[in-house]
Structure formats: structure tokens, C-alpha cells
Chain A
């Protein structure tokens, strides 16, 4: 394997607000490091408000006040250039957007401008990167749509004339038309019904294999991760707590939180009642001391309340942030 496409190191991003004279600091992403290789689908899992969305916003350099990056770096190694996302100006960012780095967002209902035809979206996003005169550009777009089994007639439709699933497929076509190196997919299937979800996932998988792009795929839905992703990172309260090959994590989760997530998945023929986790997710404005999971952790000791365990490799390619990881189970 060559150089990784994305290197995130020691990233810290906080929301800082001040209203009615009260300062607040929400530590949404705290000390996260991860790398993503070429041609892989990296899954990012965790419950809502675990910092997943903030992490990818920061990776995409789509940060706006009150979100601030306080430390660390996000570096992409694209085919033709290397970009430090928080060290370059907006012109450089605009130059790589959609050409090297594209997005598939949550809420397919609303990502397309409701008053313009789909064709205009393709022109606005991709025309400048394809570098062909308009008729040829549109031919490229049509060809691309056909490859994704979409009728080219959708170009003349308004977003409200398409179904939710159709809109998400159009968005995927839009995100891949420039053959980007890296695609950020933020809960792209969450709002869709199960049948449509399946076909959209198949579509993402197919186009990824064809283009050889890397994808960071964010969802709280563990079943989707099991079916789609190559590697998986688990976030809890703004920190990455476990990372490894998807198959390994599902077979033998090592962090107590991951173990809980996986144990709570329904299995065929399993009739035992699922146990919920005690307590609520921590308030990130005042996170617990030490390991942020310790107040809810069945394995926690005094040490966990004092200091946070660093990410440590337990096996090649399998990192866990826990002093007392779950024992390795054999399948």
C-alpha cells in the first residue's frame, strides 16, 4: 500500500459560544488521529452528538464560527497534489473541491437548490473541473448518469419532482462525476426507507470500486457499516475509542463501548432481551474526567476516572483507547 490519502493528526475542534455573558466551550472533537488509505471505505460510527459530524466538517474544512479548530492537522495526499486543509487559503480549497474531494450529504431532500433544474447543479459544481465546452460537458454528464443507471432526463427535472431515493442517487452521480480521489459521505442513507437504502448503498459501493476513490462513510447504523466498510472507527464523546478492520471489530470488539454497540445489534435467532447502557451520553461542555466513558463503563476503575487511556495497538491495525480492553474472543 502506498501513502495514505488522508492523515488526521491530533485534531481538536471546539464550539465556542458566548451568549448573555456566559462563555461555553463544547469539545466536539478532542485529539482524534486517523489515516485512510487509497481505495478503501472507512466507516465512522457513534451515537448522535458523539462528534462524527463535527469531525468530518473539520476534515472538509467546512468550519464556521462558533466551531474552531484549536490544534492538529488534516492533510490530504491527492493524486496530483498534497493539501493541508487548515493551512491553505480558500482559493486552494475551492480548486480541490469536487475535483479531488466531494461530498454526499445527509438530507438528500434539501441538498439540491429547489428552484433550479438538476442540470444547473451539475454545471455549477462540475463544469469548471471537466474543462470541456458546454455540449461536450453535458454529454459527459449524461454518460455518467447512464453508467449509474439513471435516465439522463433527470437533468431537466426540478428536485421536487424526484423521489427521495432518486434525489440521493442524483446527488451520488453529482458527487462522482469529476472522479474525485476522496468522497465524504455523511449519513447518506439515514433518511431513506430500507429498500431504497439498500440500492443506494449498492450504488455507492459500485462507483467506489470503479473509480478507486476512498470514502469516509459516517453513520450510526452498525448494520450499514458491517455491509459496506473496510475499516471502522468508533467515536464516543468527541474521541476515537476504537479502530480496526470492520470484520475484526464485529467479531471481537475490544473497547467496552464498542462491545456494547455490537451486543445490542439484533441477531437471527437471538431472543435474549437487550440491555441498555446506564446513564446518558456526557455533556461535551463539561466532559467527565479521564476516560469519557467511565461513568457508564462496566469495567471502569479509579484509574479510568483519573486519566484517559491513549489509543494503543492491540493487534496489527487494531487500536483501542482503554486500559482494560475486553478479552479477545475466538470466533
Chain B
């Protein structure tokens, strides 16, 4: 495991770049714990100050120090992505393994439902969700909702791996030696599925953060909990772009783009590591 990581870091430039980008973002988000003032309080600093030594990323029109606010916002955004990813991984894992291992009718039924969730346009449903919840909408509720909707694509991937594992000899040996289905899935198959699970986690975090940013920017989330999207929302509310307060938009966008590209690079390089066939093409 550690050797693999070290080799990836040393020989895979995509992986190394992804780690560096995410490392910067993660370190920045940790700074939020040292914020000199509660990061979401407004009018603690003079408003609309451009980036300077005192305020490295400037201040907002609401009198917030963007540096500390942003560190808090990116922390919330990352946390959101991880919560959605962990919850939806659990769903994807159970459904994918059961479908792949059972095969036959169970597999077909589960995959039909699965394909349905892939095809349904989620955005209008999330908007509808916000619409009926309104002020009751919270960060955790949105994460739960997105986890319930966002497992399908990865369940399909996991299922295809499980399907191929089912025909392997060690599965037969397990069955003949009297292991239960649960034991076979957990003890024999899970280790093969874990690497894929890991790379889908990166993609899933990207997906959920992307949707969260989009919903927040439109004001369709809890706009009092700062996330990257909420920051952009407030900047737009104060017409920051027209008023020339470019830093209010520039730094959040920069940070979130770094996060996206970092996660994406990790996912791609891990996929390559798992399936070396895709490496041949670019030797």
C-alpha cells in the first residue's frame, strides 16, 4: 500500500500534481481553525479592501476578511463532498456487490433501478427539494439527499468488478468451504473492489461539490453556512464584478478549480494504476 503510493508519487506526474493541489487546498482549509474572528461574522473588518499585507485576499462588501472566510468555506465544501461520498459509497458498495454476486434476476432488477438513477436529471429534483424545504434546508439534509441520488454510476462499476470476481476460482472455493454470502462478499471480494471504490470516491466528491456550488450560487441552499458556492452567491448579490471587487470572486473560483482538478487527477491516475491497459495507449 505505502509502496504503491510512493511509486505513484515518484513516477506518476498526474498523481503527484493532484496530491500537491489537494494538499494546498487541505492545508488552507485547516487554517480556518486559527481564524482570529468567527469567520462568518460580518463587519469585523473594513469592507471592500483589495488584497494587501493585512488582508491577503482582500475583504468583502460585508466586512469579512476573505482569507479566513474562504478557509472556513472550503472546509465546509470539502466536508460536504466527503460526507456525500461516504454515504453514497456505502449504498453503491452494497448494491454493486449484491447485484454482481447474485447475478440473474436480482442483478437485472437492481441494474434497472440503477440505470434509472443514472438517467434521471437530478438538478430539477434538487431544486424541487429546496423549493419545498425553503428555510428548513440545511447542509446535512442536502448531503443526505445527494447521497441518496448519487450512488448509481459507481454501483455499476463495482457490480462489473463483482461480476468478474464471481467466476473466479477462489469464490468457488469459498462457496464449497461453506462460507456465507456475506463472508464471501466482505472477506474475499471487498479487497478487490476497494481500489475502484477509492477512485470513484474522488469523482463522487467532484460531482457533489460541483452540484453544491451550483445550487448555492443560485441561492438554493442554506445561504448562511459559508461554502464556496455561498461565497460566490453573496459576491453576486453585491454585484462584486460590476463594482470591481474582483477578489471576492477570483479567490473562491481559483480554490474550487484547484480542488476539482486535484481530485480529478487523483481519480485518473488511480484508474490507470488499477487498469494498466489504459496506460499502454500513452506509453
Please give the residue numbers on chain A whose beta carbons come within 8 Å of chain B beta carbons, in ascending order. 20-21, 65
Contacts and interface: CB of A to CB of B under 8 A. Distances in A.
Contacts of A65: 283
B283 A20 contact: no
Contacts of B10: 21
A21 B7 CA distance: 10
Interface of B: 7, 10-11, 283
Contacts of B7: 20
A21 B9 CA distance: 13
A21 B11 contact: yes
B185 to A, nearest CB: 32
A163 B11 CA distance: 46
A233 to B, nearest CB: 31
B207 to A, nearest CB: 31
A65 B7 CA distance: 24
B79 to A, nearest CB: 35
A260 B125 CA distance: 72
B175 to A, nearest CB: 29
A21 B10 CA distance: 10
Contacts of B11: 20-21
Nearest to B12: A20
A163 to B, nearest CB: 24
5 contacts: A20-B7, A20-B11, A21-B10, A21-B11, A65-B283
Contacts of A20: 7, 11
B213 to A, nearest CB: 37
A65 B282 CA distance: 12
Nearest to B11: A20
Contacts of B283: 65
A159 to B, nearest CB: 23
A65 B281 CA distance: 12
A275 B7 CA distance: 44
A212 B239 CA distance: 85
A28 B11 CA distance: 27
Nearest to B8: A20
Nearest to A66: B283
A66 to B, nearest CB: 8
A242 to B, nearest CB: 36
A21 B11 CA distance: 8
Nearest to A21: B11
Contacts of A21: 10-11
A21 B283 CA distance: 13
A65 to B, nearest CB: 7
A20 B10 CA distance: 8
A94 to B, nearest CB: 24
A264 to B, nearest CB: 26
Nearest to A65: B283
B56 to A, nearest CB: 40
B23 to A, nearest CB: 23
B5 to A, nearest CB: 13
A155 B283 CA distance: 39
B39 to A, nearest CB: 44
A21 B12 CA distance: 11
A17 to B, nearest CB: 9
A280 to B, nearest CB: 20
Nearest to A17: B283
B156 to A, nearest CB: 23
Nearest to A18: B283
B161 to A, nearest CB: 23
A249 B119 CA distance: 65
A305 B171 CA distance: 44
Nearest to B279: A19
Nearest first, the 5 A-B pairs at minimum CB distance are A20-B11, A20-B7, A21-B11, A65-B283, A21-B10
A75 B220 CA distance: 74
A311 B142 CA distance: 77
Nearest to B276: A19
A67 to B, nearest CB: 13
B208 to A, nearest CB: 33
A221 B278 CA distance: 34
A20 B11 CA distance: 6
